[in-house]
A and B are shown apart, each in its own frame.
Chain A
């Protein structure tokens, strides 16, 4: 009689313990994003500093008339895009700035485009911060009203999105990136064939 009771207690406790173990093994601050695997939301954002673009204007920057040049994601199909949301008030962004700007420079001309997107930041503050950090090898974009941030399901900075040649979000990094992660993700994304362009020259 007694062993039956204890067996029942054990059987009843197992699902409860399993549920708790499952729940406590998760980090509640890591919100699972539904975006990876889906089409990256399109955006058209103005450059924080048009002069930063530096290199040839063919790099996705559509200078429409005399307006401030903007960058549209749909113009970058066939390239790997790294979208880094940052802010001048974000401490962790300072840690990842060096690896980002160095990796962006290292992959220059290899079909990878890096963009910073200022999140809830004043343009003047973003500019000053980039200057303080010793410049940036890739352009920064402004996101007034955080519309693009919300489109990407952002809940904090830094967050970095890796968009493949097919225009789909391949990976989302919550928190700062490092050089190792950047090269690993970029190499695997560059190794993938471009579905949009058959053997035609660009």
Chain B
């Protein structure tokens, strides 16, 4: 994500530098300036969305990270829809409608998917409880029943 944003910024600054490098372009360049700003804002959104969508012809890659033709074309679709005034969520919904939720790299936190978000925390909590219980047992055992460890010490030299 951060990389994509950085790339978008780099791209934006490069295009600004390019437009500044041609001062003789005249009033046309001035008129193009706000359009450029809007373009780079859209381009940032394209990169953000492309990072959240799965490339259908790759293994576990986003369409932002994939150089395949289909990914480029899908980025083109994102760009077109954003330019047509659709919101990023509407664009995402379009791809979900076509490819199913599979297209989202991050599953929606609802229904069965919630298990993905809740189970790790739950298991961590259970582990913590387990460790606390075991620690208590061990400390209780070492203070109360001193006979057992002593018994071991007696037996070990006997074996050798």
Q: What is the CA–CA distance of A146 and B76 in the complex, to the nearest angstrom?
A: 10
List of B residues within 8 angstroms of A108 by Cβ:
none
| Interface contact B69-A150, CB-CB below 8 Å | no
| Interface contact B77-A31, CB-CB below 8 Å | no
A153 interface neighbour in B57, B73, B76, B100, Cβ under 8 Å: B100
List of A residues within 8 angstroms of B102 by Cβ:
31-32
B127 to chain A: closest CB distance in Å? 13
List of A residues within 8 angstroms of B137 by Cβ:
none
| Interface contact A153-B70, CB-CB below 8 Å | no
A56 to chain B: closest CB distance in Å? 34
| Interface contact B56-A35, CB-CB below 8 Å | no
| Interface contact B98-A146, CB-CB below 8 Å | no
Whether A32 contacts B100 in the complex (CB less than 8 A), given A145-B73, A145-B76, A146-B73, comes out as yes
A120 to chain B: closest CB distance in Å? 5
Which chain B residues numbered 33 to 81 have a C-beta less than 8 Å away from chain A?
Answer: 56-57, 69-70, 73-74, 76-77
Interface check A154, CB cutoff 8 A: yes
A151 interface neighbour in B57, B70, B96, B98, Cβ under 8 Å: B98
Whether A152 contacts B98 in the complex (CB less than 8 A), given A120-B70, A146-B70, comes out as yes
List of B residues within 8 angstroms of A150 by Cβ:
70, 73-74, 77, 98
Interface check A34, CB cutoff 8 A: yes
Question: Interface size (B, Cβ < 8 Å)?
Answer: 14
List of B residues within 8 angstroms of A107 by Cβ:
none
Which chain A residues numbered 136 to 185 have a C-beta less than 8 Å away from chain B?
Answer: 145-147, 149-156
A32 to chain B: closest CB distance in Å? 6
Q: What is the CA–CA distance of A178 and B102 in the complex, to the nearest angstrom?
A: 27
Other than the given A31-B102, A155-B70, 20 more pairs (CB < 8 A) read A31-B56, A31-B99, A33-B99, A34-B96, A35-B98, A120-B69, A120-B70, A146-B70, A149-B70, A150-B70, A150-B73, A150-B74, A152-B98, A153-B56, A153-B98, A153-B99, A153-B100, A155-B56, A155-B99, A156-B56
Of the A-B pairs whose beta carbons lie under 8 Å apart in the complex, a sample of 27, sorted by A's number, is A31-B56, A31-B99, A31-B100, A32-B100, A32-B102, A34-B97, A34-B99, A34-B100, A35-B98, A41-B98, A120-B70, A145-B76, A146-B70, A146-B73, A147-B73, A147-B77, A150-B73, A150-B77, A150-B98, A151-B98, A153-B99, A154-B56, A155-B56, A155-B57, A155-B99, A156-B56, A156-B57
